[in-house]
Structure formats: C-alpha cells, structure tokens
Structure 1
Amino acid sequence: MPRFTSRNNGTSPFIWCAAIICAIISIVVIFGGIVVFVGYIIIHPRVPVISVAGAHLDFLKYDIVGVMQTQITIVIRSENDNAKAHALFDETEFALSYEGKTIAYLRQSEFEVGKERSVDYHYVVQSYPIPLSPTMMEAIDFAVKKDVITFELKGGSKTRWRVGPLGSVKFECNLSCELRFRPSDHSYIPSPCTSSHKH
C-alpha cells in the first residue's frame, strides 16, 4: 500500500516580516488616533470665524448708456478664539455681485492666525465696466433715489487648527451677506455679517 507523509516547511520569513510591519503600522495609527482625540478633548478648539469688519464705497458711477463702474474697500476679519491652537486659513475666496451679476472676486493665499488673535485684510475691489440691463438700470436709479445701494458678498475659507504634532481638524467658514452703502456720502451701513459657525 502507498504511504503518505506530511511535511511542514514552516512560515516564510517574508510573511513574518510583512505581519510585523502591518502590526507596527496598526499600533501607530491607533496611537495617533488616541493622541488626536485626547488633544481635541483637552483643547476643545472653537471653530475659527470670518466676518466683515467694515467697508467703504470708494466710488460709484454709471451713465445713460447703461455702464456701471465701482470701487469698494472691504475689510475681512479672520478670528481665532482658541487659547491653545493656531488656526490656518486657506482657499479664501469671495464673490462680490450686484443684482445677481458678479462684478469682482476677492482672493487670499494661505495665512495663519495666532492663538486668541484676529487678522484684518483690506480688499480694494475695483470692478471692470459692467453693462447694465434695463432691470439693473431701474434698480440702481431707485437705489440712488433711496440713498441705499446693496451689493452681495458670498464665499468663504477652509480653516483648520493645529497643535504641534497632534494633527489638525478641518472646518469651513462661509459668508453670505448684503453690503449696503449710501451713495450720497459713500458710507457703509453696518450690519451683522459673520460665518455661520459663530453663535
């Protein structure tokens, strides 16, 4: 009768090395997650805030042909109320429009705001000549007579806080508000305009 024998070659060293590496990676990931979670609980960071701190209607002119030009200075404030964490603001962009028509964009490269600090950026927004539709002409005529002209500002910034090696958590701060001015003296009519995360 034929005889059957079994032979155990053992586990390959390559498999052992792969298993050890995977175990080390798993431990590092778990440990990193615990550190970030504990850091978040201890620091409990507040979401950074962006807001309109001020504005000014530098000039506004339009003619009977139906072309408008304007220049507006807008002050955007970035606030970081965290006492233990720096805040990074990135991909900051806003669109300024009149009667639904975009007339200019405001952009800012990445910047950092220190603990419990705020930073103001002054944007001088000069529009290109804007052809006005009959409806827009009526709207601007009415605005001048009423001495209140309204522009829309929409946009936001991607923010994140960081504390040394603890990693970072990302948020989005968005604005959607109306900027009102008096054409007679070019002054800004203040009104609340902050990102939706602030309570």
Structure 2
Amino acid sequence: MGTPYHLQSPRTIVTKIINMKQQPPALPSPPPTAPSKIILQPRHRTSPAMWCAAIVCFAFSILVIVAGVVILIVFLAVKPRAPSFEAANASLNSVYVDSPAYFNGDMTIVANISNPNQKIDVVFRSATVELFFRDRPMAAQELPPFMQRRGQSRVLNMHMVSSRVLLPPEVAVELVNQVRSNRVVYTIRGAFKVEARFWSGHYTYWMHAICELELTAPPSGVLVARRCRKN
C-alpha cells in the first residue's frame, strides 16, 4: 500500500494527481475471436475428353516404342550396308585447250559398283557421274536404272567427252602445266538414288561417291593412282 495522503506532503499529492490525469484511458479488451473456418474447394472431376487424350497419348507412346524395337531388331538381323563405287581403271585419250580458254577432252572410265549386302537387293533408280578438274565441271554422264542382287558386282563403262568447256585462265594454265608434267589429276563424283529391298519392305536413300584419279598425259594416258570414298 502507498503512503496515506495525510502523511504526504502537499507537493507530492499534487504531483500524483497531475500524473494520473496525463495517463491515457485504458483500452477496452478486444472481444474474443471466433474460431477460423477452413474453406474446402470443391474437387473438379476429370472430363471424358481428358481421359481420351491421355489414353491416345499412352497408346501412341507404346506404338513408338514397339516400332523402335522392331526397327532395331530388323537392323541387327539385316545389317544394311551401302553399295561401294570405285574407279577400277581409266584412260586419258585427249586434252586440248583452245584460245582463249576452251577445254576439249576425252576420257574413258571403268568403274566397279558392288552390293556388299547378303540379305538386301538394291535398285539404282538414278545415277549420275560427273568429271571435274579443280572443282570445274568438265563432263557428265547419266546411267540407266539397274538392279543388283545381294553380293553382286557390276562394271560400268563411261565415256566422258568434254566439248568447248570454258575455263578460267588460271585453271586452264594449271591444266596445261599438268599435261606437260605428265601428271593430270581429275575428280569424278557420283550421285546415286538407291532403293534397298529386303523381305517385303524397302527404303530409299541417296549415296554419293568421290574418286580422285591421277593419270599420265594423253594420248595414251593411263591411271597411276586413285582414291575413292563415299561421302
């Protein structure tokens, strides 16, 4: 208990009264809050269209997996290989550079094309062989369609004739210098549309081959070196 007013000094009593007037009034206690309610959202049912789309996607995925497994099994069983193309022989009959830089030439190429597959027949739907000198086209020949059974080879005789092919001056000078040095380098490029047949199916693809030929000078130019590759 505090000191009675009659025992306190007048100054102390006045100070307490002033302090009591300056204190803010007590705030009323807040009313008790009601317990919070949990609001549950209604569940949406999956529509039949969504179920159908999911089933279609699942079935498509299964088909893709099955098709991949079948293709892999067929590939391992058949072991497909592309046919091989190479220049077996060649002869350079004539090379003539006219003024200002027109090229005339005659070359015979004997090429060997073979089907290395033991379970696949191939059909050459189209075949084009081109002759180049320093990436300049000199002559071209198209071959008729033909078929090769599994394991078979075929010899192709091609006569490449160039008539008044305009060459840049620097290319014409290089050709003349090669003829004088008794070493003439040509490039042949082959493009073949191949249809591979096996069992009851088939597929088509393009095959490209490049051969670099080094021959002696005409009129009896013979093949002294060659290098062929598939591209």
TM over 0.5: yes
Q: Comparing 57-66 with 143-152, which one deviates more in the overlay?
A: 57-66
TM-score (norm 1): 0.71
Structure 2: segments with no counterpart, 5+ residues = 1-62
Contact kept, 8 Å, 1:47 with 1:171, in 2: the verdict is no
Query: What's the % identity of the aligned pairs?
Result: 20
1:108 equivalent in alignment to 2:162:
no
Cα deviation digits, residues 85-128 of structure 1 (max 9, x gap): 21112221122122332121121132111111111111101111
1:90 equivalent in alignment to 2:125:
yes
Cα deviation digits, residues 152-197 of structure 1 (max 9, x gap): 22232122321231x123333212332221115311123121324x
Distance in 1 (CA, whole Å) between partners of 2:216 and 2:94 is: 11
1:179 equivalent in alignment to 2:210:
no
**Relative contact order (C-alpha < 8 Å, sep 6+): which is higher?**
1
1:141 to 176, 186, 199: 176
How well do the aligned residues superpose, as a CA RMSD in angstroms? 2.8
Q: Comparing 119-128 with 183-192, which one deviates more in the overlay?
A: 183-192
Distance in 2 (CA, whole Å) between partners of 1:179 and 1:33 is: 42
Contact kept, 8 Å, 2:180 with 2:217, in 1: the verdict is no
1:45 equivalent in alignment to 2:100:
no
- Report SS of the residue matched to 1:161: strand
Structure 1: segments with no counterpart, 5+ residues = 1-26
2:199 to 164, 176, 190: 164
Indicate the structure (1 or 2) with the bigger Cα radius of gyration: 2
Distance in 1 (CA, whole Å) between partners of 2:68 and 2:111 is: 35
Distance in 1 (CA, whole Å) between partners of 2:203 and 2:110 is: 27
Contact kept, 8 Å, 2:189 with 2:209, in 1: the verdict is yes
